[in-house]
Amino acid sequence: KFGINQALQDLGLNVDQVNNGTSTGQEWFSNGEVIESYSPVDGALIGKVKSTTREDYDRVIETASKAFKTWRTMPSPQRGEIVRKFNEELRRLKEPLGKLVSYEMGKSYQEGLGEVQEMIDICDFAVGLSRQLHGLTMHSERPGHRMYEQYHPLGIVGIISAFNFPVAVWSWNTALAWVCGDVCVWKGSEKTPLTSVACQNIAARVFNDAGLPEGISCLITGDYRVGEMLSKDERVPLISATGSIRMGKIVAQAVAARLGKSLLELGGNNAIIVTPDANIKNTVIGAVFGAVGTCGQRCTSTRRLIVHEDVYDKVKDAIVAAYKQLRIGNPLDENNHVGPLIDKDAVKNYQAALDKVVEEGGKVIVEGGVLEGEGYESGCYVKPAIAEAQNEYEIVQHETFAPVLYLMKYSGDIENALALQNGVKQGLSSAIMTNNLREAERFLSVEGSDCGIANVNIGTSGAEIGGAFGGEKETGGGRESGSDAWKIYMRRQTNTINYTTELPLAQGIKFDL
């Protein structure tokens, strides 16, 4: 039987090393109330981590501000070298870290490993990027002048992450921010404090071994009150926050009130459009993984399946048949497809969503329910459910972080499917299953999907790190991870240099003295 002591030991830690939730590197100090971590896998109390007080927080920010002065002067390829070393540690510890993620959060071991792989991939990306923090040069309108732009580090980056990707989202931010020359203060989820502490230990060791000062990687722990310290703090120029739309609106307003920058990655309400000539086998794989993977707790999880009437019954039967094959149970047992929800509150939200969809007129076609008995003692295991529903139902408009899939029908052409797909407030991920070029291109066109991610013939979840990740509308507009997402972690400076003996003014203005 897998236990927490084993998990920590495999990571080179012991229980005494994981009871402080505040750290600037080698220094761990925390004087706030104790947060208890229960594994949703077996219900065991697996850790008690002290949260961050205001005094602890100020000490972190002061140390981070000091560290920034050193870190920002190090050439970025050398910073990349540190990220490379951090990556070597991640590669070495991939299995135990993946297991801890799986045990504390409840996602399958395969997905825990996948999450650590995302960390490894973003570090590789960041190392290359450390030699490519390019600005443009432009031609000046004045003779004997040169213009160019350069990117400088911002300072302290505050990272607020959620329980569902307890390690990867931190790394998407930190790996880029570090090569950009920023220092990071991370508030992980209070639902997964041990994974945060484990990651901070790995990072701290790497920075310390390289002879770098305290404060480049910092951890703070606690609930929204600790998040609020960050979002209101003028010393923190950028807040990158991942979580609910409700949380995002609060953070965005606090950061905007001080004219800080925010990067928001909030809820999704992701749909797959299934067209008449879709490959049904691939549709089923994409939709089922999208809906039940991570027990429906990804921001990219598939919530809605918009199926053309010509193939509706066929798709419905195939999906229902696939759900019958799902094995629900301990996520560390690789025979299972679906693990538990994060906690009992999540179970309540799941049940409420199923009640609500029926109340609004929906028809449950794959029954849900909470599992009981041997192996399900934590009370967090639920059956993935499917309901036929209408897009305008209030519950369908809302993101429920659970394995509940809404099935709906469209008729006529792709416009009608697009109207449904775009007819929600969120705009993260979207997909179309089609072999029809016109439909695929229409879906990707200016009149198509309004989401930050639009996929053809793959599902809504499981984005690669190389692309910019994020979404529109209430998803918050931020972009993390690949492409040029790094730019938000830096400040852009436009430089004009006059190498003549004259001082001509721009716009041809004459000003003779």
For ligand UN1, the binding residues (CB under 6 A) are 118, 164-165, 169, 242, 298-300, 461-463
SS (H, E, C) 432-447: EECCCHHHHHHHHCCC
62 is catalytic: no
For residue 388, list its beta bridge partners.
363, 407
Nearer residue to ligand UN1 within complex by CB, 76 or 297: 297
Q: Give the position of tokens 């920075």.
A: 207
**Alpha-carbon span 466 to 428, nearest angstrom:** 17
CB of 167 to ligand UN1, least distance (A): 11
- Min dist. Cβ of residue 169 to ligand UN1 (A): 6
The least CB distance from residue 488 to ligand UN1, in Å, is 17
Give 197-266 as a DSSP string.
HHHHHHHHHHHHHTTPPTTSEEEE--SHHHHHHHHT-TT--EEEEES-HHHHHHHHHHHHHTT-EEEEE-
- CA separation for the pair 21, 29 (Å, rounded): 7
Q: Between 252 and 453, whose beta carbon lies closer to ligand UN1?
A: 453
**CB 397 → ligand UN1: shortest distance, Å?**
19
Q: How far is the CB of 456 from ligand UN1 (least distance, A)?
A: 16
Kindly calculate the radius of gyration of the chain based on its CA atoms and give it in whole angstroms: 24
Q: In this structure, what token pair is assigned to residue 375? A: 């192996």
Least Cβ distance, residue 463 to ligand UN1 (angstroms): 3
**Closer Cβ to ligand UN1, 82 or 176, answer by number:** 176
Say if CB 324 and CB 427 are below 8 A apart.
Answer: no
DSSP result, 3-48: -HHHHHHHTT--GGGGSB--BSSS-B---SPEEEEE-TTT--EEEE
Of 158 and 290, the one with the shorter C-beta distance to ligand UN1 is 290
Largest CA distance in the chain: 90
Quickly tell me which residue has 């969809």 as its tokens. 357
Question: 164 or 400, CB closer to ligand UN1?
Answer: 164
Give dist(CA 1, CA 78) in Å, integer.
Answer: 43
Kindly tell me which of 105 and 216 has the beta carbon lying closer to ligand UN1. 105
Q: Which of 190, 265, 399, 480 is catalytic?
A: 265
Within 13 Å of residue 180, how many CA atoms lie on the same side as its CB? 28
Closest CB to ligand UN1 among residues 137, 282: 282
In the complex, what is the shortest distance from the CB of residue 54 to ligand UN1, in angstroms, rounded to a whole number?
29
Of 41 and 431, nearer to ligand UN1 (C-beta) is 431
Q: What is the DSSP letter of 327?
A: -
For residue 347, which of 391, 272, 404, 407 has the smallest C-alpha distance? 404
With contact defined as beta carbons under 8 Å apart, do 143 and 499 qualify? no
Q: Which is nearer to ligand UN1, 56 or 111 (CB)?
A: 111
Contact (CB, 8 A) for 300 and 165: no
CB 35 within 8 A of CB 16: no
Q: Cβ of residue 15: shortest distance to ligand UN1, in angstroms?
A: 29
- Report, in this order, helix, strand and coil percent for the chain, each rounded to 5: 40, 20, 40
* Between 242 and 430, CB nearer to ligand UN1: 242
| Length of the chain, in residues | 513
The distance of closest approach from Cβ of residue 114 to ligand UN1 in the complex, given in angstroms and rounded to an integer, is: 8
Sign of the CA dihedral running 451, 454, 459, 465: negative
Name residue 217's beta-bridge partners.
184
Cβ-proximal residue to ligand UN1, closest one: 463
- Closest approach, Cβ 29 to ligand UN1, in A, equals 30
The phi and psi torsions of 210 (rounded to 5 degrees) equal: -85, 5
Q: Rounded CA gap, 97 and 49, in Å?
A: 18
Main-chain dihedrals φ then ψ at residue 326, nearest 5 degrees: -65, 130
Q: Bridge partners of 308?
A: 410
Catalytically active residues are 265
